[in-house]
A and B are shown apart, each in its own frame.
Chain A
Amino acid sequence: MDERFAPVPPEAEESLPPPGTLVGQGLRALLRRYPIWPVVAFFGKKRVPEHRDTGWYALGGIAMLFFAIQVVTGILLMVYYRPSQPWQSVQRIVTEVPYGALIRSVHHWSANLMALALFVHLFSTFFMKAYRPPRELTWLTGLGLFGLVLFFSFSGYLLPWDDLSFFATRVGIAEMEKAPLLGPWMADLLRGGADVTVDTIGRFYVFHVTVLPLLVIALLGVHLLFIQLQGVSEPDHFAALPGEKKRYRSFFGEFLVGEIPIWLFLWGVVLALAAMLPRGLALEADVTAAAPVGIKPEWYFLAPYQALKLFPGRLELVGMAMMGLAAGSLLVVPFIDRATPSDARGRLVAWLGAAGLVGLIVMTVWGLLS
């Protein structure tokens, strides 16, 4: 044996394909050169507890699937998008470039489904109390990712520069401007001026295609690493089981493979939505014209939009403060509800969360209908 090469670890031999096959040979050659087996073993350790709520664990992966679709379709759209001619270039994509309308619709629908998957992911981890110590930082990074994705949607919405996107962005930033202290400063910074102009597109474009993707990838890496290090959280009813009754599936070997058909289906759903309900392009933004009839934010911003309507005039600030409080309470929940198994305070938090969820859904539906 050439001493420049290391031996293949014996535990690796067990799980590699036979040495006679091409893949088996290649992997052995790799292992003899680079000592990556500990890394593989580290990832191989991850396992998923099997219980009645196991299905919820799939949501994070599903959100990542949509994110992957976003990256690919986003790169494709960048090929033809021009921030200096925003509306014209999008119009070219949807009326001249082969399958441009299809790819844009996929990008649109996948974005919506990603937001939806994240909502579900957030609330399912909340109700399974996965945020409790020692997983506070996993929760916080998750919230960070959620915020980034919302900012993704907000910035992407402006880029086509049609009627809808112009007014949506103007309103969105105007609301932000009302925040005390930093509000006006941040609004100006985002807009690149006192109003939404083509200059704003430059900023939003840079956010949308460079800053946010890098941040998401970095934060996602940390989020996943934390989970890998600590293992998947177990809900109380599972943790309470005696050891021999606890059943697990290996994450990469079984759980993830079992998820693939679900991903395939969801990819099909995105395509079906894009085929049935293609994303249209309204008229180019006219900064002088009246806002179009029936204009409304996207559904994931509807709840705060509708809730703010309940606070007319001066009271709007109160409403914003209350919503800020509600959002902020998600940040502090791991530091309030700490007991495992759950105690009275934990149950209270769960009920409050349920009330928040109901409120969110009611406001969204109300917003859709009104």
Chain B
Amino acid sequence: MSADDKSARPANVAVPVPDRRERRRFLGALGGLAAVWAGASLYPVYRFLSPQPAPDPFGKEGRAVVEKISPAEVAQNGMGKNGGYAGRGVIVFRNESGELKAFDSKCTHAGCNVQFQGAKLFCNCHGGTYDQTGKNIAGPPPRPLTELRVFEDQGLLFVARLAGPGKG
């Protein structure tokens, strides 16, 4: 159906054969709407797959027990060790001034667990280096390590958030 045919008809009478271009526009718009509806109905799948918020590692009491390190292993100045808490890595050591320190051992660069090497905390993956205050002093790490509050209670070591609650 050409444009001439159309103009030959009285203006107020529509053409029996549907206008192709109008039809395509309509289908396009409807297709867009259908895509939006279909997309929205995938939301449950998205929620199914999206991770649930991780539980607070320090729990209700605000503290977590340190695994694989006993108080005796950090009794002397300069002693320290890699251990774990709530499914994460931790480094606990006693510095030269006799202070007990703890850092979450996850490297701020790419997430490897750094190793306690006495004076420094060293990451074997890309050579990131931190000093005993957790400050990044060499290699790729962009930020200092996360420091934790550490204390002994009834023969066990516990860590807590620096500023958080938790008996200690």
Contact = CB atoms under 8 A, between A and B. Distances in A.
Chains A and B touch (C-beta atoms under 8 A apart): yes
Interface of A: 76, 79, 96-100, 102-103
A96 B49 contact: no
Nearest to A77: B48
A99 B50 CA distance: 11
B76 to A, nearest CB: 42
B154 interface: no
Contacts of B45: 76, 99, 103
Interface string B33-55: 00000000000110111101000
A-B interface, 5 closest residue pairs, ranked by CB to CB distance from nearest: A99-B44, A98-B47, A99-B48, A99-B47, A98-B48
Contact of A76 (B49, B50, B52): B49
A102 B44 CA distance: 9
Interface of B: 44-45, 47-50, 52
A97 B45 CA distance: 11
A96 B49 CA distance: 12
Contacts, number: 22
A102 B50 CA distance: 16
Given A76-B49, A98-B48, A99-B47, 7 more contacts: A76-B45, A76-B48, A79-B49, A96-B52, A99-B44, A103-B45, A103-B48
A103 B48 CA distance: 9
B32 to A, nearest CB: 15
Nearest to B24: A21
Nearest to A271: B41
Q: Which of B47, B48, B49 has the most CB of A within 10 A?
A: B48
A102 B48 CA distance: 10
Contacts of B47: 98-99
Contacts of B49: 76, 79
A97 B52 contact: yes
Nearest to A103: B48
A236 to B, nearest CB: 41
Nearest to B48: A99
A319 B48 CA distance: 46
Contacts of A96: 52
B123 to A, nearest CB: 31
A245 B52 CA distance: 62
B82 to A, nearest CB: 28
A104 to B, nearest CB: 10
Contacts of B52: 96-98
A102 B41 CA distance: 13
Nearest to B47: A98
Contacts of B48: 76, 79, 97-100, 103
Contacts of B50: 98
B89 to A, nearest CB: 24
17 contacts: A76-B45, A76-B49, A79-B48, A96-B52, A97-B48, A97-B52, A98-B44, A98-B47, A98-B48, A98-B50, A98-B52, A99-B44, A99-B47, A99-B48, A100-B48, A103-B44, A103-B48
A185 B163 CA distance: 65
A96 B52 CA distance: 9
Nearest to B45: A76
B21 to A, nearest CB: 11
Q: Which of A96, A98, A103 has the most CB of B within 10 A?
A: A98
A229 to B, nearest CB: 34
